[in-house]
Structure 1
Amino acid sequence: MHSQDRDRSPQSVQEAVCRARELHGAPDGGLLFGDDVDEGVAGLASDAVPPEKILVHLEVLARLAAARREGPLGTTAIRWLETQNVVASGESESTRSSSREMARRTWHDGRQRRAFVLHTKPSDGTRPDRCVRIYFDWDAERNVIVIGWVGRHP
């Protein structure tokens, strides 16, 4: 990627995700994008969220991966993200205990399908195509953060 492209704000969510893949993709960058990410991006309204905000969330997740690689965080991933001004949460106990709801939060992680419960919240739109979530999980075996979904809130 040319430096002038890196300095320019992404013009679409798809471009933001592509740039994050190039800049922060595993193994060196610490983010591994699952096979369902592009499908999620395609389902969003083009103006659901500023693309730069998606890129920032993915960059912060790459920094989280780097911090995890260095050792224990000393806090939860959610609290660590909050210190970086990224709104994030885990699924509620009622969602976690519902097989139907967890099936909607199961995506391919590059090897197999897995359930994701942690997500960042780049937008909180009320329409489904504007309520964007980035679902992620730490994969200790691969030493990366897997991005399972960038798309509509399930």
Structure 2
Amino acid sequence: MEPDNTPEIPTMPLAHDDVEAPGAALEEAITAGREGRITNREVMSVIWTSELLSVGRLTKDDDPSTFQAVVLKAPDADYSVAATFTSADRIPAQLREAAPVVVKATGEATIRSIAPGYGMSVNPGHEVGLEIGPDVVASLVAAYEKTAEQAQESARPEED
């Protein structure tokens, strides 16, 4: 056996070693919420402002407007949930094969796109995951719409 003459290459720090992994802040918020360090409202606020990944497929090739997200049956409930993930490495391989299209959007856009009667699951099947029921999704959308409506009203010029 010949000696290994491969030179030792020193590891160089990456330019972005200090940058958190995608979804790290959201996963920390989910964990903190479970542990009671932050409120459910604070967890929802982090979800609302975070980026989420949704997996699915296109019903018409090359037409992004035909994206159909994967919907799963909630394990302990009688409703279905939109499957979302904090980062690509949280998406199970079998799901990637069945639903090869990944869409990145804010939590706000994702929640607002969920059809009435559906909930949302963040990292389904993963220990750092969370399920939001349809009632919470509906109340978040309603709160958004009320806030948007109030903002429009306050932006209108006053009538004499």
Q: TM-score, normalised by structure 2?
A: 0.27
Higher RCO (CA-CA < 8 Å; seq separation 6+): 1
Larger Rg: 2
Q: TM-score, normalised by structure 1?
A: 0.27
